[in-house]
Amino acid sequence: MVDLKSQYNKIKAEVDEGIRQVIDSTAFIKGPKVKEFEQHLAHYLGIKHVISCGNGTDALQVAMMSLGLKPGDEVITTSFTFIATAEVIALLGLTPVVVDVNPDTYNIDPDSIRKAITANTKAIVPVHLFGQCAPMEEIMNIAKEYNLFVIEDNAQAIGADYIFDDGSKKKSGTIGNIGCTSFFPSKNLGAFGDGGALFTDDDKIAEQARAVVNHGMKIRYYHDYIGVNSRLDSIQAAILDVKLKHLDEYAFARNSAAEFYDNAFANHPNITTPKRYSKSSHVFHQYTLKLKNANRISLQEHLKGLGIPMMIYYPVPLHMQKAYKSERYQKGDFPVTEYLSESVFSLPMHTELSVEQLEYITKGVLSFFK
Ligand SMILES: *Cc1c(COP(=O)(O)O)cnc(C)c1O
């Protein structure tokens, strides 16, 4: 599904030099490289504060802790996402309220958010799924109307632009109160291990988040809050700092691969290619299609026989996961998510796909229907 080795080979000299510098300095934790990377990422995103942390799941948890959300508070998120989004809500004793998604963009549906709001609702967590922004302008309007926080789960869309009605643009993750991202190796901006970050324009939230990731302390050994220990290490920061310079070029390569796939599967009776949302650029974390009138597992087996990986993101909606079953929800409550979980499939998507590979993959898929 990804080819991290070929990507590394192209930037090897610079990455190796960055790692060597950190080893020479022995400033492995909280070293200058971490600060530098945070500043470079803030500049790239056009935001005031970037606070790095241990992974994307921690970023979401720290975001909710920094906003002072309390047990019993309801947090609205999408039923079609990776589990981390809901996991931290539940871990903090908050109540996850899930809502359905748009069948074309796979992203959270603003009308469903509106219907799910109660007196206890405190925050909305839209996920920019597969590399494309959720409808942020509508979501921000709802948040303003009901005085809710917005935490953007930007783990899959770093570098994407959201385009407002007036034509102005903002980077995904910089529109709500806090944006969160993951530097898991296969993400669009991936480290050589775990990493994550939060971003915000709000000085108070930034100060709070910086304390929370560091055991709740602003002054060493004085703990003002209950915090966590969540850090990006200097070696990962050095690697990410090199890769950040290539992020836009990586998005371009992903888009080229997506266009190849789009053309190969255009007007196919059994396949629907992913729809581009007019208010967002797409950075194609995943290339996810919908299958009609065909057996998905047979397709996966067929591709496996040809040495082509195919993944299903995500096979089980949140409300049907064993750990998250609640009296609130039943099968049938989120028809779009349930339909998608039964029909989507994702093909290899990364920065190093050659035309030969793309031809092999698309021919392999098409041969299933012959
Ligand atoms: C990857 C991912 C996360 C979690 O990131 P980790 O760094 O693996 O903790 C959260 N949300 C979404 C949507 C993700 O894809």
CATH of domain 247-367: 3.90.1150.10
Rounded Cα distance between 184 and 193, Å, is: 6
Look at residue 190 in the predicted model and tell me its pLDDT: 98
Q: In what helix (H) or strand (E) does residue 132 lie, and over which residues does it extend?
A: none
199, 176 contact by CB (below 8 A): no
Query: Does pLDDT of 14 surpass 90?
Result: yes
Helix%, strand%, coil% for the chain, nearest 5? 40, 20, 40
Look at residue 220 in the predicted model and tell me its pLDDT: 87
Q: In what helix (H) or strand (E) does residue 21 lie, and over which residues does it extend?
A: helix 12-25
Rounded Cα distance between 163 and 294, Å, is: 36
Rounded Cα distance between 84 and 323, Å, is: 13
Query: Does pLDDT of 348 surpass 90?
Result: yes
**Residue 55 alpha carbon, nearest atom of ligand 1:** 7
pLDDT tens profile 214-252: 999 988 888 888 899 999 999 999 999 999 999 999 999
pLDDT tens profile 157-211: 999 999 999 999 999 999 999 999 999 999 999 999 999 999 999 999 999 999 9
Look at residue 40 in the predicted model and tell me its pLDDT: 98
Query: Does pLDDT of 325 surpass 90?
Result: no
Give the rounded percent of residues in the chain with a pLDDT score beyond 70.
100
251, 188 contact by CB (below 8 A): yes
Decide: helix, strand or coil at residue 352: coil
Look at residue 300 in the predicted model and tell me its pLDDT: 98
Instruction: Confirm or reject: Cβ of 85 under 6 Å from ligand 1.
Output: yes
Instruction: Confirm or reject: Cβ of 184 under 6 Å from ligand 1.
Output: yes
Query: Does pLDDT of 324 surpass 90?
Result: no
Mutate to test the pocket of ligand 1, among 79, 130, 152, 156 (most ligand atoms within 8 A of CB): 156
Strands 95-99 and 74-78: parallel
CATH class of 4-100+108-244: alpha beta
Ligand 1 centroid from CA 152, angstroms: 12
Rounded Cα distance between 347 and 326, Å, is: 33
Look at residue 49 in the predicted model and tell me its pLDDT: 98
Ligand 1 centroid from CA 77, angstroms: 14
Mutate to test the pocket of ligand 1, among 182, 187, 313 (most ligand atoms within 8 A of CB): 182
CB-CB neighbours of 343 under 10 Å = 16
Query: Does pLDDT of 370 surpass 90?
Result: no
Mutate to test the pocket of ligand 1, among 152, 184, 198 (most ligand atoms within 8 A of CB): 184
Look at residue 327 in the predicted model and tell me its pLDDT: 83
Query: Does pLDDT of 328 surpass 90?
Result: no
Beta strands (DSSP E) in 102-250 are 121-125, 149-153, 161-163, 169-171, 178-182, 196-200, 217-219, 222-223
Instruction: Confirm or reject: Cβ of 82 under 6 Å from ligand 1.
Output: yes
How do the domains of the chain map onto residue ranges? 4-100+108-244, 247-367
Instruction: Confirm or reject: Cβ of 310 under 6 Å from ligand 1.
Output: no
Query: Does pLDDT of 61 surpass 90?
Result: yes
